[in-house]
């Protein structure tokens, strides 16, 4: 029989797996063999426990995103801190989706950069100018 993880290592592996870390990442952090960690995490009762923990974390991130969005006022819209709130809400939403395995595996970074460039350009435009996103595939 292979090396068994200690109770402390098992708990740590479960928490890290629930937060979205891979068995390889977890094993490296604990100085353990990847197969040992993967085998432990693949046990049916552990998979069920990790899944339940993921859902709890996902719900917490969803709640954080909801509170952030609900807290945006008309006054916030005119302040720079609105961008910080929206970024925070987006991160929390993405994390919740990721924890629920609802996030696409790949993200088109070119599109994200185009949006960032468009927002920067809009910041340089007069108020009420429309947001224009141009396709720039050179990235």
pLDDT tens readout for residues 17-33:
998 899 999 999 999 99
Domain enclosing residue 96, as ranges: 55-105
Among the ranges given (12-21, 89-98, 106-115), the one the predictor scored with the smallest mean pLDDT: 106-115
48 falls within a domain:
no
Top-confidence range, 55-64, 96-105, 111-120: 55-64
Same domain, 9 and 28: yes
Would you place residue 78 in the very low, low, confident or very high pLDDT band (cuts 50, 70, 90)?
Answer: low
111 falls within a domain:
yes
Same domain, 75 and 35: no
Percent of the chain scoring above 90 in pLDDT: 34
Token pair for 105: 């595996």
134 falls within a domain:
yes
Q: Are 43 and 5 in contact, with CB atoms under 8 Å apart? A: no
76: helix, strand or coil: helix
15 falls within a domain:
yes
Between vectors from CA 29 to CA 23 and to CA 31, what angle results, nearest 5°?
95
Distance in angstroms (rounded) separating the CA atoms of residues 59 and 99: 9
Same domain, 93 and 115: no
Q: What's the average model confidence in pLDDT over 50-68?
A: 88
pLDDT of residue 74: 74
Same domain, 4 and 34: yes
| CA-closest candidate to residue 58, choices 97, 105, 22, 32 | 97
pLDDT of residue 58: 85
Q: How many domains does the chain have?
A: 3
Range list of H helices, the chain: 7-18, 23-30, 34-41, 44-70, 74-77, 81-99, 109-124
pLDDT of residue 114: 74
Would you place residue 8 in the very low, low, confident or very high pLDDT band (cuts 50, 70, 90)?
Answer: very high
In the numeric block, the tokens 């870390």 are attached to 21
Task: Assess whether pLDDT exceeds 50 at residue 10.
Answer: yes
Same domain, 98 and 70: yes
Same domain, 86 and 114: no
Same domain, 76 and 95: yes
49 falls within a domain:
no
88 falls within a domain:
yes
pLDDT of residue 137: 47
| CA dist 118 → 1, 25, 107, 112, 126 (Å) | 58, 36, 18, 10, 14
């Amino acid at each position: 029989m292979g090396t068994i993880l200690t109770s402390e290592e098992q708990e740590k592996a479960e928490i890290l797996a629930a937060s979205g870390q891979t068995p390889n990442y977890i094993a490296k952090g604990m100085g353990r063999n990847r197969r040992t960690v993967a085998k432990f995490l693949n046990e049916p009762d552990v998979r069920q426990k990790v899944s339940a923990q993921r859902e709890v974390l996902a719900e917490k991130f969803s709640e954080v995103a909801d509170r952030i969005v609900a807290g945006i006022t008309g006054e916030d819209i005119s302040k720079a801190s609105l961008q910080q709130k929206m970024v925070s809400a987006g991160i929390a939403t993405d994390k919740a989706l990721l924890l629920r395995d609802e996030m696409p595996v790949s993200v088109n970074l070119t599109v994200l950069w185009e949006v960032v460039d468009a927002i920067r350009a809009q910041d340089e435009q007069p108020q009420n100018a429309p947001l224009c996103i141009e396709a720039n595939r050179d990235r």
